[in-house]
Amino acid sequence: MYITPYGTFYGNSWEDFCQQCFKKKYENDGYQEMPADFKGDLGIEGFTRNGILFQCYCPDALYDPTKLYEAQRDKITRDLGKLQDNQKELADYLKEIKVEKWIFVTPGYTNKELVRHCQNKAEEFRLLKLPHLSDNFDVLIYDIEFFLTEIPTILNFRQDKLDIGPQEQLSPEEIADWKTKSITLVDNAINKHGARLPISSKNYDARVNKLTQLSIANFLNGDAVIRQWSEKYQDQYEKFVKVVDLFEKRVEEKCAAYTGDFNHLYGEIETELMAKLKESFSYLDSTMIDRLTYRVMADWILRCPIDFE
C-alpha cells in the first residue's frame, strides 16, 4: 500500500485509478487499455496511438524506502523485459506504432536511483534495436502528481475525497515567533475571544489565551494547507477565494446587526461557513473542510471581519 495526500492505494485500486486518469488525460491521443487475460499481460496496462506505453505499480504492503526502491526497480526490469520477450505479440496490437516512451506509473518514489535505473534501461533497450521501439525510446517514472488536473474529477466520480493536510504541525516556538511579529492581530484575537466569554467566568484569562492560541495555530496550519492547494489546483483555489470573499461580506453585515450572545454568533458563522464550503467543494474530504473552516474563522478573528463590538 502507498499513502498519498489524495488517498491510500493498493495494487488493484491504483490500477483502477490510473486507468481512469489515462482515459481522461490521453483521450485525444487515442488511449487504449490492455486488460490482462488468462495468458497474463504484455508488460503494459495500455498505450496511445502516438507511441506511449504505460505500466502501473503499487505495493500491497507499506514498504520502507529501501524495500520500496528495490520493488520498483525490479518491477521496471521485469516488465521492460516483456517488451523483448513478447515483441511479436505486441506488434499485433501496436501495428505501425513506434514506441517512444514506456512510462512506469507509481503513486510515489523516494530514491533518485530509480531515475538512474530508468535511464540505464532506456539506453539498454535502444541498443537492442527492437523493431517496435523508436530510436529515441525512453523510460520514465510518473507519480500521482502527474495527474493533478484529473484527480478532482476522478475522485468525485469514485466518491473518494481529496484531503490535503499540513506536512508537519507547528511547534510552540514557531507559534510564539509569529505572535511577536503580529502583535496587532493577536490583540484582535484576544479582544474577540474575550467578548465570547462572560468576564466573570472561571479562569477567564487562561481560557481567552487558549482560544487565541488555537486561532493562531488554526490560521498557520490552514495557511500551509491552502498553499499546497493553490500550487496544485489553481482553479479550485481561486474559486475558494471567491466563495470566502463573498461570505465574508455576509459575516460583516451579520456582526454589525447582531445584538445577542457573541459566542452563539461565532458558532452560527462557523456552522454556516462549513456548510457553504461543503456545498462548493463536494470532492473535498470532511477533514479538509474542517481545516479550511478553522483557518477562515481564525483569519476573520485575527483581521476583524468577525466583529463583536
In this structure, are 35 and 67 located in the same domain? yes
In this structure, are 153 and 282 located in the same domain? no
* Bridge partners for 52 per DSSP: 101
* Mean pLDDT calculated for residue range 251-279: 94
Q: Is residue 167 part of a domain?
A: no
Neighbouring C-beta atoms of residue 207, cutoff 10 Å? 15
In this structure, are 261 and 200 located in the same domain? yes
Q: Which DSSP string corresponds to 133-195? A: EEEEEEEEEE-GGGGTTTHHHHHHHHT--B----SSPPPHHHHHHHHHH-HHHHHHHHHHHHH
Domain boundary among 98, 123, 158: 158
Model confidence over 177-215: pLDDT tens digits?
A: 888 889 999 999 999 999 999 989 899 999 999 999 999
Q: Among the ranges 135-139, 177-181, 235-239, which has the highest mean pLDDT value?
A: 135-139
Q: What residue has cell string 498519498?
A: 4
Count the domains in the chain: 2
In this structure, are 178 and 299 located in the same domain? yes
Domain boundary among 158, 191, 216: 158
In this structure, are 50 and 139 located in the same domain? yes
Lowest mean pLDDT of 126-140, 155-169, 188-202, 243-257, name the range: 155-169
Q: What pLDDT, on the 0 to 100 scale, is given for residue 175?
A: 81
pLDDT at 237 over 60: yes
In this structure, are 115 and 193 located in the same domain? no
> What is the domain range of residue 180?
172-303
In this structure, are 90 and 211 located in the same domain? no
Domain boundary among 158, 185, 206: 158
Q: What pLDDT, on the 0 to 100 scale, is given for residue 159?
A: 55
In this structure, are 201 and 261 located in the same domain? yes
Q: Is residue 44 part of a domain?
A: yes
Lowest mean pLDDT of 32-36, 71-75, 164-168, name the range: 164-168
In this structure, are 9 and 152 located in the same domain? yes
Q: Is residue 309 part of a domain?
A: no
In this structure, are 140 and 213 located in the same domain? no
